[in-house]
Structure 1
Amino acid sequence: MDALAPLHQALRDPLVVGVLGSVVVIFVVRTFYQWYRLSHIPGPFWAAFSKYWMVRESLKGRQPFAIKEVTDKYGSLARIGPNELVTDDPDVLRKMMSVRSPYTRGPWYDAMRFDPERDNLFSMRDEAEHARLRGKMAPGYSGKENESMEKTIENQIARLVELIETKYLSTPTDYRPMDFAQKGQYFTLDVISDLAFGQAFGYLEQDDDVFDYIKITNSYIPVMLVLANVPSMAKLLQSRLLRGLLPKESDKLGFGAFIG
């Protein structure tokens, strides 16, 4: 018995054929419209039809380099997606970032939301709310109302120097290399946590990645960037159905512990 018989029978039904034909026509028209509306702007060929180019480059971990190659090849304004443009023109960027600019943040920023129900300063797209939150946070980091800022930073500098002197000073018989990029991350996170919470998390003191924050960040950020390129995926992940996969305040490691 032909296993495909039901399919063959369905394809003989004029209603099914009409529905399938309508779907194909809609897909073709939509694809053509996506291509045509920005067709006057040059860029990689397949980028005009889907976000495959952006996702592919972000999965490779080289999207910033790929974007520079695009502007080098196609000019200061280039197309890298059906509805995405990139520019390296400082005059355009200055206009976009100016006070009362008509440009606003796009759906890309939704993927930067660690808590699905609450925006952070980086993910917030509402301009008025963003300005209000910045106004609340600014005094704590400007130094005007935080009289201990300079002393806090000096204390962490002293801890960094102490760490280097006690563990990483080489001798004629003992070579002690140090990854300064890593210690710089430890220093930065201790300064931020000390200023924000009144107590450093102890990266420099323990000379270790507390909560595995840096390790998990390095693995999570590339995924976050892929989601940012496809905002619908980020929205799905932040939905009630899949929200449990995101970091939570009750986590013992990574972003969740940091949020908690």
Structure 2
Amino acid sequence: MSGQHAGLRLLVVGASSGIGHAVAASAAALGAKVAVAARRMDLLDELAASIDGHAFELDVADTATIAPVVQQAVTALGGLDAVVFTSTVIPFAHIEDTDVATWIHAFSVNAIGANNVLRAALPHLSENGVVLVASNSDVGRPRAGVAAYGASKAALDEILLAWRNEHPDLSIIRVGVGPTQDTEILRGADRDLLSQLFKSWVEHGQLPAQMSALRDVANTLVSLVTTAVANPSVVPEVVQLAPRIRPDVAQE
């Protein structure tokens, strides 16, 4: 067990599946004390039991519930050294078919939700505390069919820049995550629409030959957090993760 990880008190928001789930498992395996929060409590309870952690139900679009849940997590952990925010919604629709409710929901989770979690965590963070927010590596290079998602992630970037400007003492890491396996991003999406979108992405060179392994991405995020905690005079403000394309690795 690494001394750098042992005893780290970590809250992972958006941990019911995908990257957040993998981050919680990776951190706990290295000795961190972990609390997890998300909407799907059946999955969270299973995860918490497997890592000897604490599970809390949280929908980050419900603003009023965020601060109480963060407080409960802080109490359960005995303090707070780091927060990892991975909650995200990716509504698939052509832009002309994206209705107002879809735009609002994407922004309420991906941008405003992240901001409000940071606000709630701020009074509880330890002296060298760290907040890591998972974003997307394609901000500024929009793909067809995900306008609300892309725009909300661009708004998230502006929000994090504002936090850095007003709170230069905080260690806030923005990570642009590239295409990653096993993240459930296509869960519930219309298959006919996806077929059309995949054709567009191929035409525009937006589908990589390979994707990053989920475990590798999670381990990298945990490493960024623990390195920032251990080296408090440095903030890795913006980190981009991209798949390593290895021609000798066979594709599924």
TM tier, smaller: under 0.3
Q: Which structure carries more relative contact order (alpha carbon 8 Å, separation 6+)?
A: 2
TM-score, scaled relative to structure 2: 0.27
TM-score, scaled relative to structure 1: 0.27
| Bigger share in helix | 1
| Bigger share in strand | 2
